[in-house]
Chain A
Amino acid sequence: MKFAIVLNGCSQTYRSQAEEIYGFLKTSFLTEGEGETFVVCENEKQRDEIIRYAPTALLHLIKMDRYQPEAILHFIEHYEGMKEFRYILFPSDFAGQELSVRLGSRLKGSSMVAVEEIDVLEDGVLCSKLVYGNHLRGYFKLDFPPFCISLQKGGKEPCPIPVIKNRQIFNYEQRSDQDSFIQTYLFKRSEKDEGLESAAFVIIGGYGLGSREAALNLQKKASELDAGFGVTRPVAMNGWMNMGKMVGVSGELVKPKLCLVLGASGSAAFMAGIKKSEFIVAVNQDAKAPIMNQCDVAVIDDYVPVMDALTALINTWQSDFETKRTSE
C-alpha cells in the first residue's frame, strides 16, 4: 500500500520529525518500502542531513525560499503522482497539523490530527486519538483516501533511522506566487529555553531536604544531570532556596516529561504545579505522604542514598547511550 510522508526540512527539528514518523511506521501496518518522503528545504547546507535521515529510500527534495504552507500545499497538491498514495503521514508538530488538514481538503480525502494509531478497514482506515480533553480515546473511521494523518505528540517512541542504501532522490525547485499576500517575513529561531517551565526533566526538592546545604547539593546534582531544579513552597519559605525556584501554585507550573520529586509530601498546592508532568516519580520515607498515591512511581526510602545510586546509574548509561547513538 503506497504512502507518502511530508516533512519540513526548513526546521531544525527535521531529524526528530523523521525519527518520530519512523517510530510510528515501525508499529503500524505500513512497510517502509512502499513509502516516499517529501521534504521541503531552504538551502544546500541541509541537503546531507535531510538525505541521511529521510525515513524512506525514495525521497523528493523540494527546494523553496522558506517554509510557507501555501506554497508547499500548492506543490504537493499538483504533484502528478499524488493520487497513488492511499496514506499521507505528517509529524505531530505545528507544520504537520496544518499541512495534513489542508491537504486532505484539497485532495478531497479525509484528514485527522493527533492520531495515535491506525488500523486498516475494508473501506477506509480506523484512527484512534485522544478526545474530551484527553479523558477518552476516540476511534474514528476515515472513508476517503488519501488519508492525511498527523501524529500525536509523544504518541509512539521515536526510532533512530538506520543507514539506508540505494537512495533514490528526485529534486524539484519550486518558486510560486502562492505567498504573495506576505509583504514581509521575519523568522527568529528560538534559543534553547533554559527555564524551568519548559524543561523536559525536572528535579524538585521538598521540605524533607531539611537544610539549605541539602538544597544546594541537590541543585548541583540536578544541573549535572541536565535537569531543571525546583523546590516546594516550604523550602523557599524557610529560605533554603530562592523564591524563583518555587514550584506550585504560587510559583512555577512545570510540565516536564519526567518529574522527580524528592522529600516532598505533596500538598495540593504543590501537586497542582506538577500535575501536567508526563511521568512523576516520588521518593519519600513516608509511605503515607499524599504524593505517594498521586505519582506514577513511588520509592519509599530516604532520598539521599536513592538519589546517589540513581545519579551513578544515569551517568554510566548516558555515556553508553551517546557512544551508541553517534556510532549509528
Chain B
Amino acid sequence: MNKKILMKGNEALAEAAIRAGCRYYFGYPITPQNEVPAYMSKRLPEVNGVFVQAESELASINMIFGAGACGARCMTSSSSPGISLMQEGISYISGAETPAVIVNMMRGGPGLGNIAPSQGDYFQAVKGGGHGDYKIIVFAPASAQEIVNFTVLAFDLTIKYRIPVMILGDGLLGQMTEPVVLPEMKEIQDDINWSICRGQDQVIIRSLYLVPENQLELHNLHLQKKYRSIEKDLNKYYEQYNANDCDYLIFAYGTTARVCKAAIDRLQKENIKIGLFRPISLWPFPKEEIISISSKIKKAFVFEMAQAQFEEDIRLSFEGKKEIKGFYKLGGAIFNDDEIYELIKKNI
C-alpha cells in the first residue's frame, strides 16, 4: 500500500485523475480550483498526456467532448460560474453519450458571487443544468481521500456508462490540505468499440435526431433506460455515522456533513440519540436507504450551504411522513460545529 502523504484537495484530485488513466485535460482558470490546471500542466507532459488551457469553459467542455468522442479518459475542472457556462456542452455530451469527468469546486453565488465554499450548485448538478432530459452521475466527497477515491471511480464509470461524471466539491475541500493515500498508477487499455478514429466503418457522434417519434423519442427512452440501470447499480454510495437506533438524524453532504459530525459527537455525550446520513452519490440519490431509515426516527435535520436544494430530495424521499427541519448557509458562509450543536439543541 502506498504511504500517506499530505496533499491539497485539488492537487490530490489531479494526481488521482492521472493515476486513473486521465491523459487529457482541458480547462480555464477560475478560483478556487486553480491548483488542478496548474498541477495538470506540469504533470501531464511527464506521462505523455496533453494539457490545453482553453479560451473559455465553453471551449474546454467541447474539447473534452472531442476527446471523449475518441473514447479517451479526459477531464475538465472549474467552479460554479464556469460550470454554468459548461451546461450547454454537458447536455450535448449527455445526448451524444461520450465520457467526461467534470469537477466543480463550488463557490458562492449567484452571479460572480464570491470564492468562498458553497453548495449552491446542487440543483444544477443533480437536476440537470442544461437543456433536455438527461442525468449525470454526481459524487460529493467530504475529504481529500474521498476526492481521490471518487475521482478514480469517476473515470471507470464514465467509460463504462458513457455518461458525464461530476465531482462536486467546494472551495474548502479543494483548498484543504489533508493526508491521502494515492492509488497505484493504472495502465489503462479501455476496450472501446463505439468511438471515432478507430479506422472502421463510419462512426457518428451526435445528439441531433430530427424525427421525433422513431428517432429522438427512442433515443431518450434509451437514455432513460440507461439512467434506471445506473440508479440500480450505484445505490451504495452513502455514509451513516451513528445512524443506528437514533431519535434524530441529520442529513448533509460534503463539507457540511463533516462539520455536523463534530456536533453529533458533542450531542451524543449528552445522551441525545442523533446520527448522520451522508449521501456521497447525489445522483443516483440513495433514496431507498433514506426511505427505510426515515421510518425509524422522530425528526430529521438538514444542513446545507444552499437554500433547501439538497433538502428537496430528502423531502421527496420522506414523502411528508416525518418532520424535517432545514438550516442553510448562503453566499459562501459555512457552518461551525458550535452553531450546529446549538441549533439541534433548540429544535429537539
Binding partners A and B: no
* B residues at A contact (CB < 8 Å): none
